[in-house]
Amino acid sequence: MLGNSNSDADRAALEKLWEAQAVAQHHDAVAGTAKQHVTFDYAKRLAAGRVAATPVAAKSIAKLTGGKATPVVCDLLNVSVCAPTQSLGNGSNQKQCFSLWNGLGHARKEIVELPVNTPTIVTLAATGTRIPSQLVTALPSVTNYGKPAGGSLQSIIFVASLPPLGFSTFCLEKDLGMAEVQHQAVSPDVPLLLENEYLSLEFCNNSLCKITNKEAGVAVLAAQSWLWYNASVGNNESGQPSGAYIFRPNSSRAIPVFSGTPKIHLVRGEVADEVHQTFGPWVSQRVRLGKESRHAEITYTVGPIDSKDGLGKEIVSRIVTNLNTSGQCLTDSNGREMLQRKRDYRPSWHMNQTELVAGNYYPVTTALAIKDKNAQLTVLTDASQAGTGCVRDGEVELMTHRCLLRDDSRGVGEPLNETEGITPYAAGVSPGKQGQHYGPGLVTRGKHLLLLDKPTAAAASWRPLVDRLHMAPLPFFHTEVTAPATASYSALMQLPQNVELVTLARWNADQILVRLAHQFGIDEDAELSKPVTVDIERLFKGQQVLAVDERGLSVTSSRSEVLESRFPWRVEGEEDKPLSSAMQPDQETKETAGNTTISLSPLQIRTFLVRLAPAPVELLMV
Between the two ends of the chain, the Cα-to-Cα distance in Å is: 5
Of the chain, the percentage scoring pLDDT greater than 70 comes to: 94
Instruction: State residue 563's pLDDT score.
Output: 86
The mean pLDDT value of the chain amounts to 91
Q: Is 372 left (phi over 0), alpha (psi -120 to 50) or beta?
A: beta
Instruction: State residue 595's pLDDT score.
Output: 81
Q: Using only C-alpha atoms, what is the Rg of the chain?
A: 26
The mean pLDDT value for 90-113 works out to: 92
Q: What is the CATH number of domain 1-64?
A: 1.20.1270
Count Cβ atoms below 10 Å from residue 8 Cβ, excluding itself: 8
Count Cβ atoms below 10 Å from residue 247 Cβ, excluding itself: 21
How would you label 23-45 residue by residue, b for 16+ Cβ within 10 Å and e otherwise?
eeeeebbeebbbbbebbeebeeb
The mean pLDDT value for 194-219 works out to: 97
Instruction: State residue 511's pLDDT score.
Output: 92
Closest CA to 465 of 497, 504, 492, 488: 497
Instruction: State residue 583's pLDDT score.
Output: 41
Closest CA to 446 of 30, 73, 144: 144
Instruction: State residue 1's pLDDT score.
Output: 47
Residue 104 has pLDDT above 50, yes or no: yes
- pLDDT-derived band at 100 (thresholds 50, 70, 90) equals very high
Confirm whether pTM is higher than 0.75: yes
- pLDDT-derived band at 188 (thresholds 50, 70, 90) equals confident
Q: What is the CATH number of domain 499-612?
A: 2.60.40.1360
Instruction: State residue 585's pLDDT score.
Output: 46
Fold of 183-420+439-467: Beta-galactosidase; Chain A, domain 5 (2.70.98)
pLDDT digits (tens, 9 = 90+) for 416-447: 999 999 999 988 888 888 889 999 999 999 99
User: Are 507 and 609 contacting, i.e. CB atoms less than 8 angstroms apart?
Assistant: yes
Domain ranges in the chain are 1-64, 183-420+439-467, 499-612
Residue type, 205: N
The mean pLDDT value for 35-46 works out to: 95
Query: Which of the two residues, 389 and 480, has the higher pLDDT score?
Result: 389
List all residues 6 or more positions away from 103 whose beta carbon is below 8 Å from its beta carbon.
Answer: 1, 2, 165, 471, 474
- pLDDT-derived band at 277 (thresholds 50, 70, 90) equals very high
